[in-house]
Amino acid sequence: MSHHQSLKVLLVCVSRALEMIAHGLADYAKTL
């Protein structure tokens, strides 16, 4: 796997993680 591909995977992972954290926080806020 080239460096570029690794970077690509990392960026996509960070992007998905951000989305998941944000949605998780929004759901948590609804339960308060």
Partner 1 sequence: MRRFLILVGAWLAAVPASAQDCTPVPHRYLAWGAPGERIVWGETVPLGQVWELESGGAATTDNRVLEYMAQHFVPPGWFVPHATSGYHSNSPTSVTGSTPVIAFQRGTILSAGEALGVRVNSTPDFATMAVLYKVFVYPEACLARLKGVAALVSAGAPSPPDFTALLQAAQIAATALTGLAASVP
Minimum Å gap between C-beta 6 and partner 1 is 10
Give the DSSP per-residue string, 6-30.
HHHHHHHHHHHHHHHHHHHHHHHHH
Residue span 11-30 as binding mask against partner 1, x where in contact by CB under 8 A, dash where not: xx-xxx-xx-xxx-xx-xxx
**Nearest distance, CB of residue 26 and partner 1, angstroms:** 5
- Say how far apart CA 13 and CA 30 lie, in whole Å: 26
Sign of the Cα torsion 23, 25, 31, 32 reads: negative
Q: Residues in the site for partner 1, rule: CB under 8 A?
A: 4-5, 7-9, 11-12, 14-16, 18-19, 21-23, 25-26, 28-30, 32
